[in-house]
Chain A
Amino acid sequence: MEQVIDVKGLSKNYKQVRALVDVGLQIPRGRIIGLMGKNGAGKSTFLKCLLGLLKYEGSISFFNKPVSEWKHDLYSHVAFIPDVSGLDPRLTVQETIDFTADLNPTWNADKAKRLFAKSDLPCNQKVGNLSKGMKTKLYLLLTLSKDVDVLLLDEPTLGLDIVFRKEFYDLLLGDFFDESKTVIISTHQVAEVENILHDVVFIDQGYIKLHESVDHLKNTWKIYEVPQGREDELLAFKPRSLARSLGMVRGLVEGNPSLSDARTAVPNLSDIFVAVVNN
């Protein structure tokens, strides 16, 4: 599979704080990757380093070309939505659309027309007067109107209500993603993106703790539930997390051990994330 992003030995320090430590990551085309971590884990720093927006140590390449050699041309292939909807409040919605269209050679006018026609964005209103949800939607529609290969989203739905969040991911899947695109979504709201991801990267304190496909994770991790009297049997499999309730004990176990008469369930990503990050 063609590698779109290749990161080797990436480290970033903010004075005394180590934000990223020797990160290595290869991201192929046609995948949706969830970059997950707690607040301050290094997700935003990682994405900004990818785009060359921060100084870093190590090497980062897009399409086998170092990011330092791309300069502004990179943004013809890669789009980024930062964690705050930072559009210029002095421009109107229409002026912002026109500006982005004129500046981007990959702007798809037909797609943009269709996307904005479906939206309820008030074209003559100043961006500064829009609600946070509307601003995020405008940012997303501007980004989706470009024919880019890679989309980087940094906590894109932070602070949005559930209707906007659903609409956001529907647009992302329906109007952007196909097998030729790559999407990286940074979030700490694991449950929200669980169903759309192909791969996950767990990041904690600047370290990549896990990089795996979601299918593989769900096949190799299991939740076992046994009566509390059989807790020792469960502990023998070294569960990564343990919870007791109503006379039962539940453990998250890596691998597929045989435990007779135990109830099993497929864990969700949140369970695995907490287990991995809390070690």
Chain B
Amino acid sequence: MNQIKALFKSEYLKQKSTYWLPVWIIVGITVLLLLVALVAAIVRPENIQIMGLDSQPEYLRIGIYGLMFSFSTIFAMFLALMAQGSLNKEKQLGSELFFRCQPVSVWYVTGTKYIMHVYANSILLVGLGIIFAIVISFVSLFFGMGFYLGEALFGVLLGWITYLKAAMVFGSLLFLFSAIFKSNAFMKGAATLGILEGVFAIIESIFRHQINLPNVFATLASIMGPINLENIEEINVALVLGDYRVLFGLLFAIACYATATFIYSYRAKEA
């Protein structure tokens, strides 16, 4: 137990700034927007309108879901930054041998890296979402539009699930790329997928589209499930979880993790 705790802790400490940077960026943007609103409220108060909920608290859920979606795009960039270095950063820094020569299973090592680099920053995302949900709920109460914290938190949950699905597919893929490529795994991985897509297109045109090769990027997006921005008005758990394809996403994530671990173990022998 101590070992797993130590691995989680060290992964956090190594990437501390990368975890917190998206939080500070969002806080910075929010503060800036509030300042702009404050100045506008002072200079042209007649132009300021507070949007009402019209006694329909689900608007708060939808609004928070949209907010979580915009936060998620910032968090996703930092997820990509972390996940692409999961299994190659230590080699780049020259510290790989130190970590490999510890009495701990390689599955524990890659497992903690996988969780910390692919999913852990979503905890900060959900934390930020909860803070915003509480603040917005109290603002709503303050302006006499009712207190709908439950709906707001529901929006946070829905946004969090959507983010986790994207992380599960694209984060896991980046984790696998980090085992394959020694550096710039994101760019090299994307280029590889692009080349694969191109090869498929050439094969398709040679065989006059008689064989249905999959579209690489579209397939990846489909196993992630729908993002539901087009259905945002009716956003709910069923829509966010999507259909059976999300199970393919889960299997894909497990396959990426297991393959990455095997490559990482094999690569050690060729150091």
- Identify the closest chain A residue to B101 (Cβ): A80
Contact with A along B1-12 (1 / 0, CB 8 A): 011011101100
A248-267: which residues lie under 8 A (CB-CB) from chain B? none
Say how far B104's CB is from chain A's closest CB, in angstroms: 6
B238-271: which residues lie under 8 A (CB-CB) from chain A? 268-271
For A104, list chain B residues within 8 Å (CB): 102-103
Contact A84:B269 (CB < 8 A) given known A72-B102, A75-B103:
no
- Identify the closest chain B residue to A127 (Cβ): B95
Contact A53:B100 (CB < 8 A) given known A88-B90, A88-B93, A90-B13:
yes
Contact A91 B13 (CB under 8 A): yes
For A100, list chain B residues within 8 Å (CB): 102
- Identify the closest chain B residue to A89 (Cβ): B93
For A91, list chain B residues within 8 Å (CB): 10, 13-14
Contact A103 B90 (CB under 8 A): no
Contact B3 A103 (CB under 8 A): yes
Contact A88:B103 (CB < 8 A) given known A48-B271, A95-B13:
no
A196 close to B (CB within 8 Å): no
For B203, list chain A residues within 8 Å (CB): none
- Identify the closest chain A residue to B91 (Cβ): A86
Contact A80 B97 (CB under 8 A): yes
B106 close to A (CB within 8 Å): yes
Chain A interface size range: 20 to 34
For B106, list chain A residues within 8 Å (CB): 72
Contact B270 A72 (CB under 8 A): no
For B96, list chain A residues within 8 Å (CB): 86
A141 close to B (CB within 8 Å): no
For A73, list chain B residues within 8 Å (CB): 103
B94 close to A (CB within 8 Å): yes
Which of A55, A71, A86 meets B270, CB within 8 Å?
A55
For B270, list chain A residues within 8 Å (CB): 54-55
A99-113: which residues lie under 8 A (CB-CB) from chain B? 99-100, 102-106
